[in-house]
Copies of this chain bind each other. A is one copy, B any other.
Amino acid sequence: MLAGGVHALFLLGTTGEAPSLSYRLRQEIVQRACRQVQGRVPVLVGITDTAFVESVRMARYAAEAGAQGVVLAPPYYFPAGQEELLEYLQHLTPELPLPLYIYNMPSHTKLVFEPDTVRRALDIPGLAGLKDSSGNMVYFHRLQRLLAGRPEFTLLVGPEELLGEAVMLGGHGGVNGGANLFPRLYVTLYEAAVAGARDRVEELHAVVMAISDTIYSTGRHGSSFMKGLKCALALEGICEDFMAEPFHRFRDAERRRIGGYLEEIKQLLRRVGLPG
């Protein structure tokens, strides 16, 4: 990913399967990644947890390991109200040794950081940004409007299918799982969008959609994105495709389909001038 030009790393997020890993393993990932990166790019660490104390503990661990920020989705077992969500941020943020990025992920947490809650949270010292994985661009644009006077607050988009438009219309970047596989594609798309090069954005976005419609859409469940991505990473020799419970790697039939898709995608990448 560093060779591919990504501007930062986010460890222990959703694609990283963080909630499914033991705490020991989560810590090991943070430590080994920070050691490897050696400060070349900022490292953000997910500290989402249903238990307040465990979030603080992980944030402290991340700071000691040399990370630059932490990322937090709300506690996701009990359904909280917006007022409670705000108080939670107000209570937690002062305990954190690193800048905090909010992670809006309603499909997994059952809870949206409503724009008005974000607006009220902007006063909290230490709050540095927000990653929106809702997939709802109306919501994203609402946040942009209320952040108009806060250019140092970083607004990032989660789904890579929305990276092009989010950045063309003023968003600051993306945290896109596909960059584990083809970092250069997403970095180039980001740069084209910053430059307002609409035609270039459109052709790169088409490749992103091709990946989304093939590699991420093999298999029946909500987990097909993660399974497809991991399978492709394994086929590329980047990492094992072992998955934490309750999920399992694709079997041979799906693996062969992913292999075929990978070849198609690489052709598309070459056609837009990127290393396949």
**A22 in complex: contacting residue of B54, B144, B164, CB < 8 Å:** B54
Copies in the complex: 4
Cβ of A20 and Cβ of B78 under 8 Å apart?
yes
A134 to chain B, nearest CB (A): 10
A169 to chain B, nearest CB (A): 6
A25 to chain B, nearest CB (A): 8
| Residue of chain B at shortest CB distance from A206 | B145
Which residues of A from 146 to 169 have beta carbons under 8 Å from B?
Answer: 159, 161-162, 164-165, 168-169
**A20 in complex: contacting residue of B51, B110, B141, CB < 8 Å:** B51
> Is A66 in the interface zone, CB < 8 Å from B?
no
A150 to chain B, nearest CB (A): 16
Cβ of A78 and Cβ of B222 under 8 Å apart?
yes
Taken residue by residue from 206 to 226, chain A's Cβ proximity to chain B (1 for < 8 Å, 0 otherwise) reads as 100110110000001111000
8 contacts between A and B (CB under 8 A): A19-B78, A23-B23, A80-B247, A84-B248, A88-B246, A110-B110, A135-B136, A142-B209
Top-8 shortest CB links A-B = A165-B165, A196-B198, A19-B50, A88-B246, A19-B77, A52-B245, A81-B221, A22-B53
